[in-house]
Amino acid sequence: MSKRVVSGIKPSGELTIGNYLGAMKGWAANQHKDGYENFFFIANLHAITVKQDPELLRKRTMDIVAWLLTSGVDPNRSVIFIQSMIPAHSEICWILNNYVTMGELGKMTQFKDKSQKTGREGQIAGLFDYPVLMAGDVLLYDADEIPVGVDQVQHVELARTIAQRFNNSHGETFKIPKATLTENSSRIMSLNEPEKKMSKSESQDSYVAMDDKPEAIIKKFKRAVTDSDNTIKKATDKPAISNLLAIYSGFTDRSIEEIEKEYEGAGYGKFKNDLGEIVAGVLDSWQKRFSEIREDNDRIQNVISEGNSKAETLAKEKLGIVKDKLGLH
């Protein structure tokens, strides 16, 4: 039996090298492992938990599809689909809302973090509820594995709880999914606040975007915060240089130990400059490929309609079973 992997990216900003190293790179690699079926989706229903400009949301959705193709996700090996185009996602979310408590959702660290500014009462209900939508995203497809960063492990745990609860009430319906930590599960951190993760919805100087120009990339790495001493060494009390080493390693596929050795005795200045040039070089060539793919609208539309159709067949079938059990059919 093959294992099914389901994972998504929100079109909530420009894709960053954090998204590439923590998600897309691993997705592309996973396609070449035997015994895996891969489902990757653009999580636009999740993106609207934060206000989005409609035109920009539409554009970014297509951009992400093109970036997936650019980074080696192959529509012949993986199903690429758009969440909002498959109504079963919204439907299952409503149903699963009845198998989770306010207490369980209120405990989610991400909800608590994101509610610090507004306070709980001022927070959007969609943001409170989004782990349930996420549970639906994976339960609809009988996912075995959910490759996530550490920030999402708690949400996968909740999806397991919801699935088990539903199964206990109505008999075996959902497969219980497992979180698998992506290779860079240590996470790529912000360039100016290395104790926070790099996020596409944060300020531009905190991340490198996949479509940043070479000069901008080099400048961003030059300006990246560093730790107090001047040695290129990974350490828990040196979050900034550890993060830059992780990025260097991710873009060169060389081990951190090897890189540390090469830069023994060199200062941060040289290291950051080299890193900027490496990342700029790689992204520059990918951006050319991206532009070609992005301009071929027919190809993108084909990938989406084929992916949607494959995903929808499975999602509808599972939703049908669920509705049947609940007397909704």
Q: Contact with ligand ATP (CB under 6 A): which of 6, 28, 159, 188?
A: 188
| Catalytic option among 25, 200, 272, 318 | 200
Q: Does 152 bind ligand ATP (CB under 6 A)?
A: yes
Cβ distance 272 to 247 under 8 Å?
A: no
Q: Contact with ligand ATP (CB under 6 A): which of 23, 133, 139, 311?
A: 23
DSSP per residue, 134-188: HHHHHHTTT-SEEEE-GGGHHHHHHHHHHHHHHHHHHSS-S---EEEE-TTTT-P
Q: How far is CA 127 from the centre of its chain?
A: 17
Tokens 């944060």 correspond to 202
Is 197 assigned a catalytic role? Answer: yes
Q: Does 18 bind ligand ATP (CB under 6 A)?
A: yes
Distance in Å, CB of 86 to ligand ATP, minimum? 18
Distance in Å, CB of 290 to ligand ATP, minimum? 18
Q: Which stretch binds ligand ATP (CB under 6 A): 196-204, 212-220, 298-306, 315-323?
A: 196-204
Q: Does 194 bind ligand ATP (CB under 6 A)?
A: no
Is 25 assigned a catalytic role? Answer: no
Which residues make Cβ contacts (< 8 Å) with residue 304, sequence separation at least 6? 65, 80, 81, 82, 85
Q: Does 22 bind ligand ATP (CB under 6 A)?
A: yes
Q: Does 199 bind ligand ATP (CB under 6 A)?
A: yes
Three state DSSP letters for 119-140 = CCCCCCHHHHHHHHHHHHHHHC
DSSP letter at 243?
H
Closer to ligand ATP at the Cβ: 33 or 270? 33
Q: Contact with ligand ATP (CB under 6 A): which of 6, 9, 80, 85?
A: 9
Distance in Å, CB of 13 to ligand ATP, minimum? 6
Q: Does 19 bind ligand ATP (CB under 6 A)?
A: yes
DSSP per residue, 69-119: HHTT--TTTEEEEEGGG-THHHHHHHHHGGGS-HHHHHT-HHHHHHTTTT-
Opening angle at CA 77, ends 73 and 78, nearest 5: 65
Per-residue binding string, ligand ATP, 131-150, x by CB under 6 A, is: -----------------xx-
Distance in Å, CB of 21 to ligand ATP, minimum? 6
| Catalytic option among 114, 233, 310, 323 | 114
Q: Contact with ligand ATP (CB under 6 A): which of 155, 197, 272, 294?
A: 197
Distance (Å, whole) CA 113 – CA 129:
15
In angstroms, the first-to-last Cα distance of the chain is: 31
| Catalytic option among 197, 220, 234, 272 | 197
Cβ distance 111 to 128 under 8 Å?
A: yes
Q: Does 12 bind ligand ATP (CB under 6 A)?
A: yes
Cβ distance 78 to 31 under 8 Å?
A: yes
Is 10 assigned a catalytic role? Answer: no
Residues that bind ligand ATP (CB under 6 A): 7, 9-10, 12-13, 16, 18-19, 21-23, 148-149, 152, 184, 187-188, 197-201
Active site residues: 114, 197, 200
